[in-house]
Amino acid sequence: MIDPVLAKRGLTLVFVMLLMDVIGIAIIVPVMPAYLEQLTGSDVSHAAIDGGWLLFVYAAMQFVFAPLIGNLSDRFGRRPVLLASVFTFAIDNLICALATSFGMLFIGRVLAGVSGASFSTASAYIADVSTDENRAKNFGLLGIAFGVGFILGPIIGGLLGEFGPRVPFFGAALIAFLNFLVAYFFLPETLATKNRRTFDWKRANPLGALKQMRGHRGILWIGLVFFMLTLGHMAYPSVWSFVSAYRYDWNQRDIGLSLGVFGMGGALVMGFILPRVVARFGEWRTAVIGLVFTALGFFGYAAAWQGWMVYAVIVATCLESLADPAMRSIAAAKVPPSEQGELQGAMTSLFSITNVIGPLIFTQIFAMFTAPAASVAFGGAPYVLGGLFVVIAVAVFVLRVEKPAIAAHEPLEQAALVSSEAS
């Protein structure tokens, strides 16, 4: 444990770094359709396919490099790895802003995925400066950073997009450069030399965490539900911007505002409604409520033929945010404390896989139903598919996941924080 003063400073700086990084990631979401159309000269349907490949390569790089970068931080310390990641993030956004071809933009997103894999290092940094008494509170900063970042990022991106689709990328690059400068001068190292270990390629295996799910009763069924839920949820980052531009003729500001309202609804439910629902109904029923509202949300968005209806669906189905933390809490009760890290690692691996395959699935479906030659023109088709995935999740959960004999509500708050981080 480092000096308490340095620990507090480091924790504050890491929180700011994470918040700025998440804002930098989310800031480009509203402008991606317009930018791809401008860069490639294609229509929105083909732009959606290109956008799917960009999301695919970003998620794939995170999946591959997250354990690698985490192991490098164990070998060389947290500070140099975090500095390298933030600097790389600035460079890749600058490349994207100056891109003259889709290939150049693709390279930029490859670098973005590699730099984004450093979130594991940020988590290790927080663990280094934490004690048993404040570890949960400190890790809660991750959830706050992700939640606030994904609320503010799209709104800022939508506003900057009014000046041109390249401007948000320049904004993200500037934020990252400032992040790097602050960290370079003020961020302390937290991993003592004596605590560092030799780098081992076997420990950098991205699939290793998934193997840990097989040894506990009922975990595989929860894992399947979690996989189908997160796969369905990938429809939102994959095609929300494209569907909004196609169906409602929304501009970047409109798209950013809708995403901000969506994120705010989830944050309010997690913070204020979740504890009360769990206290009344228990974790199992809370998970069912969340899953059902998630499915209703997808079908609601699919049926929303006017823009104002999107906001009505957001309000009516915001209880969908109950599902993920409740399921994480149920899963946590099935394994001993010594294996909680392995369990959450497995859950994160599942999330990474859906990040890889989800964009390709949903953007292809969108293109299929919006292309000029489409036999049936239906921009909401990706949401129907997402809803069907969640219906499968509901069925598996109700039929195969056992109700806890004794409700254990204590882990739920922690599960909610982990859920916020994953989101």
Read off the pLDDT of residues 279-299 as tens digits, 9 standing for 90 and up: 899 889 999 999 999 999 999
**Beta-carbon-side half-sphere exposure of residue 166 (alpha carbons within 13 Å):** 11
Per residue in 124-149, pLDDT tens?
Answer: 777 677 665 555 456 556 656 777 78
Q: Output the pLDDT for position 131.
A: 66
- Going from the N-terminus, what domains does the chain have, and what CATH number goes with each? 1-188 (1.20.1250.20), 211-423 (1.20.1250.20)
- Whole-angstrom Cα distance, residue 89 to residue 28? 13
Residue 422 has pLDDT above 60, yes or no: no
- Whole-angstrom Cα distance, residue 306 to residue 314? 13
Per residue in 251-271, pLDDT tens?
Answer: 878 887 898 888 788 777 877
Question: What tokens appear for 47 in the block?
Answer: 């732009």
Per residue in 83-92, pLDDT tens?
Answer: 888 899 899 8
Q: pLDDT: is 191 or 297 the higher one?
A: 297
Mean pLDDT to the nearest integer, 149-174: 86
Please provide the DSSP assignment of 65-111 as one string: HHHHHHHHHHHH-HHHHHHHHHHHHHHHHHHHHT-SSHHHHHHHHHH
CA 101 to chain CA centroid, Å, is 27
Place of tokens 């609601």: 300
Q: pLDDT: is 318 or 30 the higher one?
A: 318
pTM value > 0.75: no
Residue 419 has pLDDT above 50, yes or no: no
Query: Can you list the pairs that 350-353 forms with residues at least 24 positions away whose Cβ atoms lie under 8 Å?
Result: 350/210, 350/223, 350/226, 350/227, 350/230, 351/230, 351/422, 352/59, 352/62, 352/63, 352/66, 352/206, 353/63, 353/227
Query: 59-63, 287-291, 404-408: which range is least confident on average?
Result: 404-408
Of 86, 85, 107, 110, the closest CA to residue 98 belongs to 107
